[in-house]
Each structure stands twice: as C-alpha cells, then as structure tokens.
Structure 1
Amino acid sequence: MSKQVQVHVALFLVALIYGSNYSIAKEVMPEYVGPFGLILIRVVSAAIFFGILSRLLVKEKIVGRADNLRAIACGVTGIAVNQLCFFAGLNLTAPINAALLMVIIPVVVLLFSALLLKERVGWRKVTGIVAACFGALLLISHSRGEGTTGNMYGDLLIILNAVSFGMYLVLVKPLMQKYKAITVVARVFTVGAVIVIPFGFQQVLEPDYSALPTSIWLALVFMVVAVTILTYLLNTWSLRYANPSLVGAYIYLQPVLAIIIAIALGKDVFTLQKALYALLIFAGVYMVSHSKQNVLQKTA
C-alpha cells in the first residue's frame, strides 16, 4: 500500500470515528452516564495518556508566562468549554443536527483569525460566512417545532462548542509552531481535566458500573481510545505526509458518515428541510475554505 493510500485510509478512519461518535455518545447519554460524567472520563483518561506519552517521548516543557497563559486559554476553549458544550448539546439535540452544525468550524476559525490575527477577509469569504450562518440559524429555528428530532437549546450549545473550538484553533497555532505537538496537547488536556472535574464529578459517581451492559462499556472505551486518542495520533501522522488542506477537506465527510450511521441505527431521520439547510451550510463553508488559507479540522 502506497503512502498516499495510507494517508487517505487514516483520514477516512478519523472521519468515520468522528461520524460514529454522534450516535454512540447518544446511546450512552443520559441513561447510563450523564454528559458531564462522560466528559470527565474522556478528558481525564486522555490527559493521563498524553501526559505519560509526553514525558516518555519528548520531555519538553512550555516555558514563559505568555506561553503558559496561552496554554491555559487553550485548555479552557479547546477542552473544557468545547467538550462541556458539545456533550451537553448532543445530549439534547439530534446527532444529525450536531454533525451539520459542527461543519461551521472553518467559518469560526476565519472570523477569529480576522479578529485576533488581523487576517484579511474578502467578499467571497464574507458571503460564505453569511450563507453558513443563515443555514445554521434555519436549522436551529427548525428545531423549535414539536415532532422535530432536534432541540433549539442543544443546537445553540453545539454552536457555542464550535465557536469555542474555533477560538482554540487560532490560539493554539503559535504554541504548535514553537513546541512539539504532544507537549502542547498534554498541557491542554491537563488544564481541561482540572476544569471539567467539578462539573462531572457527581455524574461520574452515579452509575452502577458493575451493572452496565457490555455494549455501553465498549462505547465508553471507543470514546476514550478511538475518538480522543486514536484520532489525534492518526491526524498527527497524516500531517507529516499530507498538506493541511487535504486533512481539512475530510471534515466534509464527517456529517455525511454521521447521517448514514444515525439513520442506520435509528437514532435520527434526515428530512428535506435538513438537507436544504445543510446545503446552505456546506456552500458557505466551501466559499470560506477554498482559498489560500488552510482549513483546520476538529481533533477533540
């Protein structure tokens, strides 16, 4: 198998794992483990893993007040707020809604890049931002009605999650350029773990773990090992051989796979209205992403 094929296989696996996570997490929440308890399990496990890996492989430290404050900000936006809003939102809304709304991350990245890094935004990108935001607003408003599979408040939390992660991607860039990736990720997850513990401590103690079905245990293992750890390792490896734009392009595959999996498992239905709103979101993201700037893919 050629290196090029290996890269595409790795990126497809990442998209497949993220796409399946929407339905698998819904299977666990809230009947077996509350959303914040699920976050605590996932983030603390990842923090321990990446912390040990960092000490064994690189033994590098983030130094200086400015870099340490930036790392804390990254932990708050990229892990704590991001994860708390995502799982709380997914607990309320439908998997397809969450998957479609997450596609606006490149738009959010562009907005924060313009605000914080003073990057230029042309008319094409502005049009894309308006289209994507309009599609997202329509999807949220559609979730108000009775009999719909979405939830307005859940959709808003998913939007807040995307905004938080978009800010994280902009904030973390200088650290990634200065330190090894594993050093930054280990610190970011450690900060995030400290913050999410008070939110999830009670929920993580509530379940009777001895009575959990095997399928739920497998789901928990999947979310820790595959969604959190394996996707990061695959993305990091892929970036050694592929340009960021290729990695970013696979973000469009995530909602497609999420829709297929959600429908196959009977977790959601895909309506004509959702298809039209999704078309607006995708069109807007396409206009924003297909430019000289690279698209960044969610890896948390």
Structure 2
Amino acid sequence: MSKRVWALLAATMVSLIYGVSFTIAKDVMPVYVQPFGFILLRVMGATVLFWGISVFGPKEKIALKDFPRIVAAALFGVALNMLTFFKGLSYTSPISAAVIMVTTPIIVMILSAILIKEKIKWHKIVGILLGLFGTGFLILYGKSVGNATNAMLGNLLVFINAVSYGFYLIVVKKLMDKYNAFTFVKWIYTFGLLMVLPFGWNEYQAIQWQNIPVTILWEIVFVVVFTTFFTYLFNLVSMRELKPTTVAVFIYLQPLFATIFAMSLGKDHLTWVKIVAAVFIFIGVYLVTKKKS
C-alpha cells in the first residue's frame, strides 16, 4: 500500500476511535471522574506512554528554535483544545457542540489558505460543504437536543476548541516535515501536561478509585491508550502525507461512527435520516481526499 493510503487509513482510525469514545466517556464522566480531572488523567497517561515508546524511536535532536512551535502545538492541540471542549460541553447541549465542531474543516481550510498559502481546489470546497451538510443533518435530526445551562458561553468555548484544533493542524505540519513524530510528540504532551495540571489537579485528587467498578476502569484505560495515545499517533501519521484540510475533513466521520457504535449496543436505531446523512458524509470525504490525476 502507498504512504497516502496508510495516511487515509490512519485518519479513518482516528475518527473511528473518537466515535466509539463518545459513548465510553459518557460512562466515566461525571459520575466517577470530573471533566478536568479526566483530561489530566488522559494527558498524564499519554505523556508516560509517549516517553516510553520514544526509546524505540530515532535519535534526533530538536533545534532550540523549534521549541516555541512545540509549545504552540501543546497549547492548541492538547491544553486549549481539550479544556475548552470539555468545559463547553458542560454548559451547552451536545447537539450544539456537535454542530459547531463540524465547522472545523471550514476553519482549517480558511486558516490553511491564509497561513500556509494552501491552494483550495473546487472539489475540496464541494466535499467539505457536502460533508458539513450530511453531518449537520445527522446531528440535527438524528439526536435529541438535551439541556444547556449556559448555551452562549458553552458554544463559544466549543468554537474556540474548533479554531484551536485548526491552528494545531497547521502548526504541527511544519514539525512533521522536519522531524520524526516520536522525536517531538513526547515534548508536545509534556508541555501540554504542565498547561492542564493547574486546571485538573483538584478534580484528579477527588477521584475515589476504590469506588470505581472494573468495567469503568477499563473504559478509562481505553480513553488514555486509544482515544489519547493512539489517535495522536495516527493523526501524526496522516499529517505526514496529507494536507491539514484533508485531515480535518475526517471529523465528519466521527458522529457517523458514534451513531453506528450506539446502534450496535442497542442505544440507537437505523433511520432514513442516518442513511441519507451517511451518503453525504462519505461523498464529501471522498471528494476532499481524492487526489487529482
């Protein structure tokens, strides 16, 4: 298989893991672990894993002038990204959060055009809009609205999260072109850990491990190992071969995979809305990932 096919598979795996994680994370939060405590747990676990696996990676030295970029990647890709999403989700309804999140590919497309002068082809614009329509359709008509305690603040925080992720994809692309992923990802998470520590420490200390059932402990392990560690690695694999705009469009698959997983557990059922939405999403992703001959 070509490197591009591997990159597309890696990006699909990220969406699949995130889609499954929506259901799993709901089992853990907020009953057993509070949101910021969970973020600290995720970042701490992933930092240990990345430092451990880096022993087997190539022995490269990071230039001192690249550390500000690594700190920026930690801010946009770990700290700001995770904290604003979890906090925003606690204030707004899941439906509003999901609708705002799917604007990410459009934000990335605009930022890529401005910051790295990426030329946006017409089929990518059509693909992003089709995917946006399909995902919006799935979210608006496929799920219940839910409660919102402070919708305006929550929606703003989720939007900041979407913009933050867009900046991260662009910032990390330059590092990918220069170093092997194992060389710098451990540093991104180390700086990210220092950033989330003040926000999550109290909630982390409040975790009552002795009261957590074994099934929930395994779900916490899944979130740390797969949703944090592996998704970050897969994302970096896809970033090496694909443009930020292409990587971002895979976010459209997340609500689709989340719905499929929920249906497999009997928590959701198939409707014509979901079928139509799936068709639009897959056509959109195909158009964006299609390489011009």
Which aligned pairs between 1:185-264 and structure 2 lie closer than 5 A?
185-234=185-234, 244=242, 250-262=250-262
Output the TM-score relative to the length of structure 2: 0.75
The SS at the match of 1:175 is: helix
Q: Is the 8 A contact 1:132 1:284 kept in 2?
A: yes
Distance 2:76 2:10 in 1: 27
SS in 1 for 2:103: helix
1:257 alignment partner AA: F
CA shift, 1:64, in A, is 2.5
Post-superposition CA distance 1:193-216 (Å, at most 9, x none): 110000000000112101111221
Aligned pairs for 1:9-48 (under 5 A) are 13-48=13-48
Partner of 1:148: 145
Cα distance in 2, alignment partners of residues 10 and 116 from structure 1: 25
Aligned positions, number: 283
SS at match of 1:69: helix
Q: More deviation in 56-65 or 160-169? A: 56-65
- Checking the alignment, whether the CA contact within 8 Å between 1:108 and 1:163 is kept in structure 2 is yes
Output the amino acid matched with 1:102: M
In structure 2, the partner of 1:296 is none
- Counterpart-to-counterpart distance in 1, 2:179 and 2:209: 39
**How far apart, in 2, do the equivalents of 1:32 and 1:102 lie?**
26
Please tell me whether the aligned partners of residues 43 and 189 of structure 1 are also in contact (alpha carbons under 8 angstroms). Answer: yes
Q: Where in structure 2 are the equivalents of 1:49-198 lying within 5 Å?
A: 49-65=49-65, 67-92=66-91, 98-99=97-98, 101-121=100-120, 148-149=145-146, 151=148, 152=151, 153-198=153-198
Contact 1:26 1:90 in 2 (8 A): no
Aligned CA distance change for structure 1 residues 123 and 232 (closer, same or farther; 3 Å):
closer
Match of 1:61, SS state, is coil
Assess if the C-alpha contact under 8 Å between 1:50 and 1:186 holds in 2.
yes
* Contiguous gaps of at least 5 residues in structure 1: 294-300
When residues 119 and 9 of structure 1 are mapped into structure 2, their CA distance, relative to the original with a 3 A threshold, is closer
TM-score normalised by structure 1 residue count: 0.73
In structure 2, the partner of 1:297 is none
Change in Cα spacing, 1:97 to 1:263, as seen in structure 2 (3 Å) is farther
For residues 150 and 271 of structure 1, the distance between their equivalents in structure 2, rounded to whole angstroms, comes to 24
Cα distance between partner residues in 1 of 2:191 and 2:64: 16
Q: Deviations over 1:34-59 (max 9, x none)?
A: 11100101111111211232244223
